[in-house]
Amino acid sequence: MSEALLEVEDLKKHFPIRGGFIRRNVNHVRAVDGVSFDIPQGQTLGLVGESGCGKTTVGRTLLRLTDPTAGSIRFRGQEIATLSRRRMRELRPKMQIVFQDPMSSLNPRMTIKQILTEPLRLNGVGRDAAHKRIVELLETVGMTAEQANRFPHEFSGGQRQRIGVARALALNPDFIVLDEPTSALDVSVQAQVLNLLSRLQKELDLTYLFISHDLSVIRHLCDEVAVMYLGRIVEKGPVEKVFTSPQHPYTQALLSAVPIPDPETRAKRIILTGDVPSPVNPPKACRFHPRCPRAQAICREIDPPLEAKEAGHLAACHFPGPQEKWPITQTREVKVSEG
């Protein structure tokens, strides 16, 4: 395996909740609460989980769009979690982001040429070189130089996302956070954008963090996947291992909801009951225990560490393993339906 481009250790991001007359901190939202992973150069790590699990906060914190509360982020071996804003600005061209909604991330009053020129000129690229680079960028993402004088609303959703990708590529980054980049697009357009991202990764040796709630997309694009629940990673490993042999009950529940194209196959669907607990006061010990079909007394007392169940495949569970191996706890109300 190639060397890690990004190494994240025990990353935390807690947002203060202010209250009272003098607006003092009364509590914290533990959006990210001790997350560790590496991404090797040229590979893609998928970050998956329900809405509100902290995956977008991880992406934004890695780029220092929001400052971490604690933990370490090393980019090419350099610690950036504590880097000054000025030093971080110097590094920013190498670390970019593509947002979920291309319409709201592109200024509607600027032409595509102005949108792409902005990061180039801010980083000291001259007018002629910027013009040449814009033509090159548009061609790279499958568009033409003639389209540069149009405004974002004149393009389809897929084309706008291509423009978002072109803007992220403008300064030759090494690492890109892709934050649900295809979830606002139609399925056929999604495939085109995913193929584009895949091609660019190979051609430009890019490293991606791919944030998504769509497991099929993660399986298509990623080398490794990390499953997040309530601010923590509960399972992590090579995509094929996690998809074919999930160890954590939460991963198994997520995977059971993925439609199987074969009409002969009737998969058992695990429907988790209860809402996701609040990240302000997460459950003690295993955070998944109030919703877990496999929970036992120990789960409410001891926090299971994220540890290897087999080479490179980690899970944070006292009773990891295939779903069939563990009977559903009688006291737990879980609906298992034929899907």
| The amino acid at 8 | V
Provide the minimum distance between the beta carbon of 9 and ligand SF4 in the complex, in angstroms, as a whole number.
Answer: 23
Sheet containing strand 78-79, edge to edge, reads 24-40, 4-19, 70-75, 78-79
Q: What letter would DSSP give residue 143?
A: -
Whole-angstrom distance, CA of residue 36 vs CA of residue 247: 18
**117, 126, 227, 282 from 132: Cα distances, Å:** 10, 10, 41, 52
Give the nearer residue to ligand SF4 in terms of CB position, either 116 or 306. 306
CB of 218 to ligand SF4, least distance (A): 20
Per DSSP, what are the bridge partners of residue 313?
A: 310
Q: How far is the CB of 339 from ligand SF4 (least distance, A)?
A: 21
State how far the Cα of 199 lies from the Cα of 203, in Å rounded to an integer: 6
Residue number with CB closer to ligand SF4 (189 or 328): 328
C-beta of 243: minimal distance to ligand SF4 in Å? 18
Do the Cβ atoms of 152 and 108 come closer than 8 Å?
Answer: yes
For residues 117 and 252, which CB has a smaller minimum distance to ligand SF4 in the complex? 252
What's the closest the beta carbon of residue 31 comes to ligand SF4, in angstroms? 20
Residues linked to residue 47 through DSSP beta bridges, in sequence order? 211, 226
DSSP 63-112: TTSS--SEEEEEETTEE-TT--HHHHHHHGGGEEEE-S-HHHHS-TTS-H
Nearest-approach distance from CB 131 to ligand SF4, in angstroms: 55
Contact 117, 137 (CB under 8 A): no
Residues that bind ligand SF4 in the complex, under the rule CB under 6 A: 248-249, 286, 288-289, 292, 294-295, 299, 304, 317-319
| Residue closer to ligand SF4 (CB basis): 215 or 299 | 299
Distance of CA 269 to the CA centre of its chain: 24
Residue placing its CB nearer to ligand SF4 in the complex, 26 or 271? 271
Give the nearest distance from C-beta 313 to ligand SF4 in angstroms.
15
Closest approach, Cβ 327 to ligand SF4, in A, equals 12
Of residues 181 and 304, the one with the C-beta less far from ligand SF4: 304
Of 139 and 310, CB closest to ligand SF4: 310
Rounded to whole angstroms, how far apart are CA atoms 312 and 324?
A: 23
Comparison of 152 and 304: residue with beta carbon closer to ligand SF4 = 304
